A and B are shown apart, each in its own frame.
Chain A
């Protein structure tokens, strides 16, 4: 049973395209995180949100608590955005941190 589901699993886009990655979860949460993992690299936290919407540069993250759904958008995608994007949730109870399996994004010049 996966508490966090992401889609798509793999995504290839042309440079400049608008990209959306989706995350659905099944538990009550106190926060949702979007993480970025470059090939061979470490993990960087992009956003932490518990409601509404956050924007950082070309990245936008939204969350709908009632629908248990979040989206990560990348505007004007660039090859350097190529990475695995991981959705993770912090449930209301306990100290667990549930991860999605990630979306592998490739942006072609």
Chain B
């Protein structure tokens, strides 16, 4: 079946502009994660959605970052007033049930964001 998909695959934007990154999880997966991987850095947790529960936003680095998940499926990560330090690969992952404590995560290919 189809895996996790993300769009766009690459995004180049100017400093100060807003960007939206999209994630389509595997159908039926209730848990969805956003991560960030900066150049030369490890992966960093951003936000977690589980079903219809309130998301865990504890990893968002600033209030310029927000995310929503509509209908328990597609998720959008929005970065407002982008800064150069936001340049990174943004990865989405989904899992069938409760996430990394009980399930294997399936990762998307990522969106490479470059802020000029």
Contacts and interface: CB of A to CB of B under 8 A. Distances in A.
A88 B52 CA distance: 26
A44 B110 CA distance: 12
Contacts of B108: 42
Main secondary structure on A side of the interface with B: strand
A88 B99 contact: no
Given A43-B91, A86-B42, A101-B42, A94 B105 contact: no
Interface in A50-85: none
Contacts of B93: 43
A29 B9 CA distance: 33
Interface of A: 30-31, 33, 35, 41-45, 48, 86, 88, 90, 94-102
28 contacts: A30-B101, A31-B100, A33-B104, A33-B105, A35-B107, A41-B109, A42-B91, A42-B109, A43-B93, A45-B105, A45-B107, A48-B100, A48-B104, A86-B43, A88-B43, A88-B100, A94-B58, A95-B48, A95-B50, A95-B56, A95-B58, A96-B59, A97-B33, A97-B35, A97-B45, A97-B100, A99-B43, A99-B44
